[in-house]
Amino acid sequence: MKKTSAFCITILLALACGQQSTKNIEHANDKTTTAMENVYIFDEGFYMPQLGRYRKIWLYLPPDYFKNNKHYPVLYMHDGQYLFDDLTSFVGEWGVDEVLNEMFEDGFPGVIVVGIEHRSEERLNEYSPWKRKGMGGGLGDKHADFLVQTLKPAIDKNFRTLPDRENTGIGGSSMGGLISFYVSLKHPGIFGRSLIFSPAFWFAEKSYAFAKNTEIAHDFRMYFLAGGKEDPERDVHKATGRMVEIMKTKGLAENQYRFVADPEGIHDEAFWGNYFGDAVAFFFY
């Protein structure tokens, strides 16, 4: 069930030294949150030195995180405001927290999810290393450096993570899928799992040439999702299938990827949320 009353979020940071500190963050309004109780705010304004700006960072911790000393895989997700809470999303939420809590009850050992906020005015710029005339882009490399050099070290320092590549994933949808694809191939020593939902390959034709110049490690895993009822002009299904075929020529074996083409799928959070659990299980279970 969703937590349905306004509340003050309390987050216990399990620091490397074994001590714990408490950060209380209160919602800015009295509306009802739909986030589960194990969704927290890591930082209201986490600094991105590579870009000279700040972003809110959400955190999902497994239900048993504070009851043991286990270490967990980590999945870094873009468009963080759409993952857990209707309050922070104008288009609905994925329901990541509900999905993972249900999986946990069914025996899934748990995963930490880090949700990274986007700012609408900079989303296209930050989520593509390639520029598109009249639309933006071009800051994707700096965004990638932020993830690798700043955010991941902070998460690994403050929480009980499994920091190796086999237990570290990155993901997103649309432009978030594009940048997740790019970052995972640019930094294969950091990210060994890549969740690519309705990717905006249409935004950057150069993404295909980039993919052709990569090599895929034998233990890398990718989960592609496309809907048959997404924007017909951009033909997400065809564009995604084209990229999957390229990845196969670069060494992506049948047991290393999933490509789900849902003929009824549309470009929205509910669609992506329906397949989130399947992707996580493929990555970490």
* DSSP letters spanning 80-117: GGGTS-GGG-SS----HHHHHHHHHHTT----EEEEE-
| Percentage above 70 pLDDT, the chain | 89
CA atoms of 97 and 179, how far apart (whole Å): 23
pLDDT tens per residue, range 136-169: 999 999 999 999 999 999 999 999 999 999 999 9
Count of beta carbons in the 10 Å neighbourhood of residue 167: 19
87-118 exposure pattern, b = at least 16 Cβ within 10 A, e = fewer: bbbeeebbbbbbbbbebbeeebebbbbbbbbb
pLDDT tens per residue, range 201-242: 999 999 999 999 999 999 999 999 999 999 988 999 999 999
Domains, in order of start, for the chain: 8-284 (3.40.50.1820)
Tokens of 186: 């640019």
List own/partner pairs for 234-238 with CB under 8 A and 24 or more apart.
Answer: 234/200, 234/202, 235/202, 236/198, 236/199, 236/202, 236/267, 237/261
pLDDT tens per residue, range 269-278: 999 999 999 9
Residues whose CB falls within 8 Å of the CB of residue 199, separated by 6 or more in sequence, listed in order: 173, 174, 177, 178, 180, 181, 224, 226, 236, 239, 240, 243
Say if strands 221-227 and 193-197 run parallel, antiparallel, or are unpaired. Answer: parallel
pTM over 0.85: yes
